[in-house]
A and B are shown apart, each in its own frame.
Chain A
Amino acid sequence: MSAPGLATGRLVADDLLVTFPGAGGAASTVALDGLGLAVEAGEVVALIGPNGCGKSTFLRVAAGLLRPERGSVVLDGVPVVEPDGRIGLVFQEPRLLPWRSVADNVTYPLELAGWPRERRRARLAQLLELVGLEAASALRPAQLSGGMRQRAALARALALSPQVLLLDEPFSALDALTRERFNLELLRLHERTGTTVVIVTHSIPEAILVADRVIVMTPRPGRVAAEVRIEAPKPRTLEQLDQAIVSRAAAEIRAHLELGEAVA
């Protein structure tokens, strides 16, 4: 686990272009065009934008799952061109293997990376403690609540101690209350691990609660429309969501989002 003091995990995306071929003769879609952004080491950045603006596409490029036609993603000076152990990705759905226990799901990346059993077990204990799933270790995904499943997915993404954690609307399937709790837990987790976090979201309150900086994206093709720094002090609490500083940030983000819609 990288200590918070070590300044690793600086992610820079430059001039990304991604197009998807249209199905059945339809014109191809430009998902990202000229997207560039930088995330500082240890920073929490929320990406917000209308549906289909390429937020998820950006995450897939940043995770090395999708190659851009132009541009690059560089992590700590080393380009990301394929799936990379320095990057942990949490999908919108938990994507747990239903035939494996929670423990075996969480250690799946370690297994693929060839860790011996003993080492996997030691790491598993840390990971389960980190997300509060110690008691569920032997359960199968089908026996878990939606929230617990997403915790397991989070623990799995942290298994290889990534420098950057990418989250693609990770809590969108959870109810509002659970979701707020998860956002606070994510912040606690961030304090303990010191990883850089990029979270894609649809929710302005969620973005403001977790992020140091909110990046607002334009409708397709995705590009950066604006950046809003959230000055609220950390550690954050739900009560802060009512403060003036927060409502000002929310108004600013909303304005940028609406501007984007109007242009599109």
Chain B
Amino acid sequence: MTAPANLVLGGPPAGGRPTAGLAASALWPIVAAFAAFVILWKLVVIVGGLPVFILPPPEIVAARFVAAWTDGTIAPHAWTTIVEVALGFVAGAASGLVAGYALARSRLVERLLSPYLVAAQAVPILALAPLLALWFGPGLLAKVVICGLIVFFPVAIATMVGIRSIDRGLLELARSYRATRRQVLLTIEIPAALPSILGGLRVGVTLAVVGAIVGEWAGADKGLGVLVNLARGSLFDIPLLFATLVTIALLGIACYLLVVLAERRLVGLR
């Protein structure tokens, strides 16, 4: 990965396109920080004299991570979770976009819907998950719904804010050239609101991973959330638990990077 540092940190896209040399010089602090993290971890294990079932040292977790991936322990679970995250994210983001646009363009829609939106957001997804699992069964659908719900809110709000904050002068400009409703949407509203929408998608995509794991805890037979429970419970394989957590974290980072890369392509040129 030749991603520059601010890609990982999620800073706003820089003005110029990074060169290869810049990427390399930006990369080494990340490597150094990671090394420091691993060393600190190892020190805590040694100094605290912690047993493997409380905090396994990094090399054991790394070994278990590689083993569990090569022998096919993690892969099927990871695949299930990825599908849930992808479908849930797409469903939540798509409905969030539509709802956010409607909220921005109609005071009536906003007045009618926003209390329910806020109420739904105020109830922890952890509390809702068992109910949704009951309604939608133990399969994929319940996870997609839970995932979608958790993604929906930040995307809807970001879209609403983005559409609302469009310069009215630009809308008047489009009107002065007799732009149709569709032309206004495509040439003014979407491009103008895009930075804000992508900000919402950034938040949403990491929440999508959380949603999938929570959904799996509420009842499932496959998925990384299930594997966490298995590793902790019946298998009592704490290094596997950590290897699974690492996988979940990597999945979240990968999703986030995908959105940031999309952001670079779409608005990086401004």
Known: A97-B188, A108-B187. A65 touches B176 (CB 8 A): yes
* Secondary structure dominating the interface of B: helix
- B221 in the interface, Cβ–Cβ < 8 Å? no
- A15 in the interface, Cβ–Cβ < 8 Å? no
B176 in contact with A83 (CB, 8 Å) = yes
Residues of B within 8 A of A (CB): 167, 169-170, 172-179, 183, 187-188, 191-192, 194, 267, 269-270
B177 in contact with A99 (CB, 8 Å) = no
CA distance A109 to B176 in the complex (A): 9
Taking CB atoms and an 8 Å cut-off, the chain A residues in 164-197 that contact chain B are none
Residue tally, chain A, CB below 8 Å to B: 21
Which of the residues A83, A95, A109 comes within 8 Å of B170, measured between beta carbons? Answer: A95
B270 in contact with A140 (CB, 8 Å) = yes
CA distance A41 to B45 in the complex (A): 88
| A143 vs chain B, min Cβ distance (A) | 11
A65 in contact with B172 (CB, 8 Å) = yes
Residue among B178, B191, B194 with max Cβ neighbours from chain A (10 Å):
B178
> Which of A19-27, A85-93, A217-225 forms contacts with chain B?
A85-93
Residues of A within 8 A of B (CB): 63-65, 82-83, 85, 89, 91, 93, 95, 97-99, 108-109, 111-113, 140, 142, 160
| B188 vs chain A, min Cβ distance (A) | 7
B172 in contact with A112 (CB, 8 Å) = no
Known: A83-B177, A142-B270. A95 touches B169 (CB 8 A): yes
List of B residues within 8 angstroms of A109 by Cβ: 177
A140 and chain B: residue at smallest CB distance? B270
List of B residues within 8 angstroms of A64 by Cβ: 176
Which of the residues A83, A85, A99 comes within 8 Å of B175, measured between beta carbons? Answer: A83
| Smallest CB-CB A-B distances: 5 pairs | A109-B177, A112-B177, A95-B173, A99-B191, A83-B176
CA distance A221 to B175 in the complex (A): 26
B176 and chain A: residue at smallest CB distance? A83
List of A residues within 8 angstroms of B192 by Cβ: 99
| A196 vs chain B, min Cβ distance (A) | 17
B184 and chain A: residue at smallest CB distance? A112
In the complex, besides A64-B176, A99-B269, 11 extra interface pairs with C-beta distance below 8 angstroms are A65-B176, A82-B178, A95-B169, A98-B270, A99-B194, A99-B267, A108-B177, A109-B177, A112-B174, A140-B269, A140-B270
List of B residues within 8 angstroms of A142 by Cβ: 270
| A147 vs chain B, min Cβ distance (A) | 19
A113 in contact with B177 (CB, 8 Å) = yes
A65 in contact with B187 (CB, 8 Å) = no
List of A residues within 8 angstroms of B188 by Cβ: 97
| A94 vs chain B, min Cβ distance (A) | 10
A112 in contact with B183 (CB, 8 Å) = yes
Q: What are some 6 contacts across the A-B interface (CB < 8 A)?
A: A82-B178, A89-B176, A91-B173, A95-B170, A99-B191, A99-B192
